[in-house]
A = this chain, B = another copy of it.
């Protein structure tokens, strides 16, 4: 568990008492108790208060808050306050200010605003972390360290340019190796000296965020910035760890955030935490996938839900309220997929600045007689009762979907074949097909051991790095089923094409050659025509976006295209390889195809759904010491059904015993066990 000090599902959230005064503080504590809140995240944006000038540190306010809360049974998730530099620092040391993508030197403003290569930022953020660690190392309230906040944003300043050149020297050793890796002979961009290299942005090689003339430099710049921001985290982490080696350290991530290679970050964190802010149109299975992805960063270890809103957000276009029950429902969704905390942003609403219309446990009215507070208090009581069952429970899956940030960057940066290709959406299509059938999935990185899985799916594995193909070959040879898609095996880790025929290094495993890749407007569909019915796969399906024109080189042709000049060419192939098989899906299919494909592949591997439910009823399971906890969550606005069969189960939340066909109310949750 994250900390023995508080062996339950932590409940609470961000708390900013520096925006308030003493009377309010007392009301806060009174209401926190009513709501069952036992953790407060403090000090996230307090750098300017903690360090009013270069030489002065003042933690008196923080001391008082930690003490006051602890006296009232509330622990601290302790921020390091470095997520926004003080105004005096920006004035005195402009190197902390970033240069933006358009090449403009920024002035003081916003947050997440420090250049990751700024000597000033590095020096003072590390020093701040150390001072906090020294001061609070023995305080019993401190449960976990929360370094900085939502790291992100790139910088293009001269310090970054220099640091980039150093990063390249470390990575490539020679300028010749850089030229080769970036294929600079193209358009005569050959570099003869490291100093000729400039960061890729609107002033040099890029435009529109992800468009670039040279994929190589743009890819490396993303690696470099992700690494340098990670170094900033590590500087603070190591300063803390010296003093409190036993208190876990995290920083809050942002799910599918594109700019950081979170698999690298997960390795450096003691516990993963993240902030869950779905939009009004985010599919619920996309949120589930993101929880699974965050769990993957430390290979399945439980994680922290660091932030969610109790009611509404403020920065969306239309900030709808979470309907009654939905805050609880989505909290359990997180728990069901590995979260051992339920924390909110924030505990009391600000009265000024950009987030004053972001929901909070304590709203502007200031009392507890609100719908939002009542729902929060109800959940607090439930979680207190549940905790010893759930914490540290694992999620077990036999199906894995590969997700890789560098592959994503490679696809995003590509010029051609189609702007309609979206890596995250393609991955989610496969995830959703399994989700709809209540089949538990692990999202995995490319470093993950495959031997625990029966089925591994790698949608649009455009970039095959190093010997990853050999790992896949071994997995299949040993009996596993592997699925990949169109536009896979195209390039290596430098975004250089593997010549000799697509899908490059995967060609042997898949038993096919992809001769051409057609791209049509996404409104134009072709058909996937199944040749011989399997169990679910039968008849015709639709596909669009990209169309690989493939030839079998040994693979069985499972389906053909139904239209266009490549009608009759393979659209789906299956290649027997050792004891397993490798599938290739040559275009982007509709959900009917993917659900039927997944049903057939899982059936072949005897991977069973957790149970059968109506659409909109989500099921996920955690397991602890052999005991299974089956979470059933109804996202529908109406009562819905699912099937338990004859098995007798107990609902942890109500204590009732159930079997057969079960009704679950709109937005309700059940946690079923055999006990």
* Interface residues of A, Cβ cutoff 8 Å to B: 16, 18-19, 45-49, 52-53, 81, 84, 86-88, 90-91, 102-111, 181-193, 195-198, 200, 202-205, 212-216, 280, 311-321, 323-324, 349-358, 363-366, 370-372, 414-420, 494-497, 499-502, 513, 515-522, 565
Q: Is the CB of B213 within 8 A of A109?
A: yes
Q: Which of A48, A497, A520 has the most CB of B within 10 A?
A: A48
Q: Is the CB of A416 within 8 A of B203?
A: no
Q: Is the CB of B193 within 8 A of A88?
A: yes
Which of B46, B323, B352, B513 is close to A215, meaning CB atoms less than 8 Å apart?
B352
CB distance from A202 to the nearest CB of B (A): 8
Which of B52, B311, B496 is close to A516, meaning CB atoms less than 8 Å apart?
B311
CB closest residue in chain B, given A51? B188
Q: Is the CB of B16 within 8 A of A352?
A: no
> Contacts A108-B204, A200-B109: A84 and B516 contacting too (C-beta < 8 A)?
no
Which of B105, B186, B316, B420 is close to A350, meaning CB atoms less than 8 Å apart?
B186
Q: Give CA–CA (A45, B213) in the complex, Å.
A: 14
CB closest residue in chain B, given A186? B353
Q: Is the CB of B313 within 8 A of A416?
A: yes
> Contacts A216-B352, A417-B314, A496-B352: A87 and B185 contacting too (C-beta < 8 A)?
no
Which chain B residues border A419 with CB–CB below 8 Å? 317-318
Closest 3 A/B residue pairs (Cβ): A183-B352, A314-B416, A109-B204
> Contacts A324-B565, A364-B502: A352 and B182 contacting too (C-beta < 8 A)?
yes
Q: Is the CB of A108 within 8 A of B364?
A: no
CB distance from A553 to the nearest CB of B (A): 12
Which chain B residues border A355 with CB–CB below 8 Å? 186, 415
User: Can you list 16 A-B contacts with CB-CB less than 8 angstroms, sorted by A residue number?
Assistant: A18-B185, A19-B183, A48-B188, A84-B187, A102-B104, A109-B200, A216-B352, A280-B521, A315-B416, A316-B416, A318-B419, A320-B518, A351-B499, A358-B416, A371-B515, A371-B516
> Contacts A111-B187, A190-B48, A518-B321: A356 and B497 contacting too (C-beta < 8 A)?
yes
Q: Is the CB of B319 within 8 A of A352?
A: no
> Contacts A48-B189, A314-B416: A365 and B499 contacting too (C-beta < 8 A)?
yes
Which of B16, B45, B183, B196 is close to A353, meaning CB atoms less than 8 Å apart?
B183
Q: Give CA–CA (A356, B213) in the complex, Å.
A: 11
> Contacts A188-B46, A366-B500: A196 and B320 contacting too (C-beta < 8 A)?
no
Which of B84, B418, B497 is close to A364, meaning CB atoms less than 8 Å apart?
B497
Which of B196, B200, B323, B415 is close to A87, meaning CB atoms less than 8 Å apart?
B196
Which chain B residues border A184 with CB–CB below 8 Å? 48, 353
Excluding A109-B203, A352-B494, A357-B415, 16 further A-B contacts by CB distance (< 8 Å) are A19-B183, A48-B184, A87-B196, A87-B197, A91-B193, A91-B196, A106-B203, A109-B213, A186-B355, A187-B353, A216-B353, A323-B565, A352-B496, A364-B497, A365-B502, A371-B515
Which chain B residues border A356 with CB–CB below 8 Å? 215, 415, 497
Which chain B residues border A87 with CB–CB below 8 Å? 189-192, 196-197
Q: Which of A189, A200, A350, A501 has the most CB of B within 10 A?
A: A189
CB distance from A526 to the nearest CB of B (A): 12
Number of copies: 3
Q: Is the CB of B354 within 8 A of A214?
A: yes
Q: Give CA–CA (A363, B515) in the complex, Å.
A: 9
Which chain B residues border A215 with CB–CB below 8 Å? 352-354, 356
Q: Is the CB of B204 within 8 A of A107?
A: yes
Q: Give CA–CA (A205, B84) in the complex, Å.
A: 13
CB distance from A98 to the nearest CB of B (A): 10
CB distance from A360 to the nearest CB of B (A): 12
Which chain B residues border A318 with CB–CB below 8 Å? 417-420, 519-522
CB distance from A509 to the nearest CB of B (A): 17
Q: Give CA–CA (A312, B354) in the complex, Å.
A: 42
Q: Which of A47, A185, A203 has the most CB of B within 10 A?
A: A185
Q: Is the CB of B187 within 8 A of A520?
A: no
Which chain B residues border A316 with CB–CB below 8 Å? 416
Q: Is the CB of B198 within 8 A of A109?
A: yes
Q: Give CA–CA (A91, B193) in the complex, Å.
A: 10
Q: Give CA–CA (A418, B311) in the complex, Å.
A: 15
Q: Give CA–CA (A5, B414) in the complex, Å.
A: 41
Q: Give CA–CA (A106, B103) in the complex, Å.
A: 9
Which chain B residues border A49 with CB–CB below 8 Å? 185, 188, 190
Which of B103, B188, B213, B312 is close to A416, meaning CB atoms less than 8 Å apart?
B312
Which chain B residues border A204 with CB–CB below 8 Å? 106-110
> Contacts A104-B103, A311-B516, A318-B419: A365 and B192 contacting too (C-beta < 8 A)?
no
Which chain B residues border A364 with CB–CB below 8 Å? 497, 499-502
Q: Give CA–CA (A399, B440) in the complex, Å.
A: 65
> Contacts A111-B187, A416-B312: A196 and B88 contacting too (C-beta < 8 A)?
yes
Which of B105, B313, B517 is close to A203, meaning CB atoms less than 8 Å apart?
B105
Q: Give CA–CA (A513, B101) in the complex, Å.
A: 46
Which chain B residues border A185 with CB–CB below 8 Å? 16, 18-19, 49
CB closest residue in chain B, given A213? B354
Q: Is the CB of A417 within 8 A of B357?
A: yes
Q: Give CA–CA (A89, B352) in the complex, Å.
A: 42
Q: Is the CB of A186 within 8 A of B45?
A: yes
CB closest residue in chain B, given A105? B203
CB closest residue in chain B, given A20? B185
Which chain B residues border A103 with CB–CB below 8 Å? 104, 107
Q: Give CA–CA (A46, B185) in the complex, Å.
A: 7
Which chain B residues border A370 with CB–CB below 8 Å? 515-516
Which chain B residues border A371 with CB–CB below 8 Å? 515-516
CB closest residue in chain B, given A370? B515
Q: Give CA–CA (A513, B367) in the complex, Å.
A: 13
> Contacts A49-B188, A196-B87: A516 and B353 contacting too (C-beta < 8 A)?
no
CB distance from A134 to the nearest CB of B (A): 21
Which chain B residues border A495 with CB–CB below 8 Å? 352
CB distance from A149 to the nearest CB of B (A): 10
Q: Give CA–CA (A640, B191) in the complex, Å.
A: 55
